[in-house]
Amino acid sequence: MIPVIFGLSGPTLTADEASLFRQADPLGYILFGRNCVDRDQMRALTESLRDLSGRADLPILIDQEGGRVSRMQPPVWPAFPAPSAFAALYDRAPSSAIAAARANAQALGMMLAEVGVTVDALPLLDVAQPHMTGAIGDRSFGADPMQVAALGRATLEGLAAAGVVGIVKHMPGHGRATVDSHHELPRVSADAAALEQDLAPFVTLANAPMAMTAHVVFTAWDADRPATLSPTVIRDIIRGRIGFDGLLMTDDIDMKALTGAPADKAAAAIAAGCDVVLDCWARFDEMAAIAERLDPIAPASRARLDRAMAAIGTHSGVPMAELVDTRDRLLALA
């Protein structure tokens, strides 16, 4: 197994993809809208990926946050609210917001589990700031670290109740970035004392099973490299100050915040201390180059993966319709 999560080009595996994946044995896969047609198609696709890998606990990821970041779309699948809806309710009724976020995440997780998806790239723990980039925007749970942590914890608990693993992101925090890391490299000049606010939700949820890095330079910690590629940030801040010992993956290495050839970026992220690289765009030549470049997964990273995936497939049995009704009744209080 090599420490990379690959995207797929379409609703079924191509022959070339199947051949490459069989030989390379990537850690997992991530699905996008191009891979999500209907329930039967998605179940067939995820089953084909499990059959190819021979692993029942294969990580199959998706970005299904609710709101504008939703790969599985109506009318085939129901729409889910953006995280900001729970932040708005928290301002009036914190306990109701927490219950609504938990019910929402459990219902969302049930929708994913039904089609064989095992990991959701949710929740964001990015603390909102006044000049935060719109790339985060309504995806944030708010500006108060305690609120962000409480709603993030409820989301992780809801996903777990559906047998799905959550990913906290974007560690160590994307809230102060004023530009979109999809398009350029953000630089945050806040001092270490101010950054404690950004770290707080991640510290509270340091036992999360998985986390995703931020492609952001924090000059207080490493003025030369974004967190994803910084041994200092990963060792001293993510593993040290935050105390996170779960599976740490990069954000998509094809984002324009990072420069260079994909295989070089992948190798640099692993060398910096990330457990696994996320490569989303299913460009065959790039995937082949990454597969050629990366060594087998490190034993410590494999142990983190196994811990993270240990609880998939178990669920509480509460009907999805009941969870959605609970969520909607609570959100109406806002």
Cα 48 to Cα 40: distance, rounded to the nearest angstrom:
12
Instruction: Give residue-wise pLDDT tens across range 183-202.
Output: 899 999 999 999 999 999 99
The residue written with tokens 């952001």 in the block is 216
Under 8 Å between Cβ of 146 and 181: no
Report CA Rg, the chain.
19
Region label for 282, one of left (φ > 0), alpha (ψ between -120 and 50) or beta (otherwise)? left
Residue 288 CA to residue 20 CA, distance in Å, equals 7
**Angle (deg, nearest 10), helices 15-24 and 39-53:** 40
| Residues with catalytic function | 182, 251
pTM of the model: 0.96
pLDDT at residue 289 in the model: 98
Provide the residue-wise pLDDT of the chain in tens; the chain has 334 residues: 999 999 999 999 999 999 999 999 999 999 999 999 999 999 999 999 999 999 999 999 999 999 999 999 999 999 999 999 999 999 999 999 999 999 999 999 999 999 999 999 999 999 999 888 888 989 999 999 999 999 999 999 999 999 999 999 999 999 999 888 998 999 999 999 999 999 999 999 999 999 999 999 999 999 999 999 999 999 999 999 999 999 999 999 998 889 999 999 999 999 999 999 999 999 999 999 999 999 999 999 999 999 999 988 777 788 999 999 999 999 999 8
Between CA 167 and CA 285 the distance in angstroms is 28
Name the residue type at position 288. Answer: A
CATH domain 2-331 topology: TIM Barrel (3.20.20)
What gap in Å lies between CA 197 and CA 34, rounded to an integer? Answer: 37
Residue of 157, 56, 45 lying closest to 98 (CA atoms): 157
Q: Return d(Cα 28, Cα 86) in angstroms, integer.
A: 30
DSSP per-residue string spanning 23-84: HH-EEEEEE-GGG-S-HHHHHHHHHHHHHHHT-TT--EEE-EEETTEESS-TTTS-----TH
CA 169-85-197 angle, to 5 degrees, is 45
User: What span, in angstroms and rounded, lies between the C-alpha atoms of 37 and 29?
Assistant: 17
Strand (E) or helix (H) holding 148:
helix 145-161
Domain segments of the chain as ranges = 2-331
- Alpha-carbon distance of 91 to 89, in angstroms, equals 5
Question: Maximum distance among all alpha carbons in the chain?
Answer: 54
* Spacing of C-alpha 3 from chain mean position: 16
For residue 205, give both structure tokens.
């949820």
Instruction: Convert the pLDDT of each residue in 211-266 to its tens digit.
Output: 999 999 999 999 999 999 999 999 999 999 999 999 999 999 998 889 999 999 99
pLDDT at 312 (0 to 100): 86
d(CA 247, CA 171): 12
**Strands, DSSP E only, in the chain?**
2-7, 26-31, 60-62, 64-66, 69-70, 119-120, 165-171, 187-188, 210-213, 217-218, 247-252, 276-279
User: What is each CA distance from 281 to 7, 21, 30, 35, 85, in whole angstroms?
Assistant: 6, 15, 9, 12, 30
Residue whose entry in the numeric block shows the structure tokens 């990069």: 250
> What pLDDT does 161 receive?
96
Identify which of 123, 176, 112, 175 has the alpha carbon closest to the alpha carbon of residue 150. 123
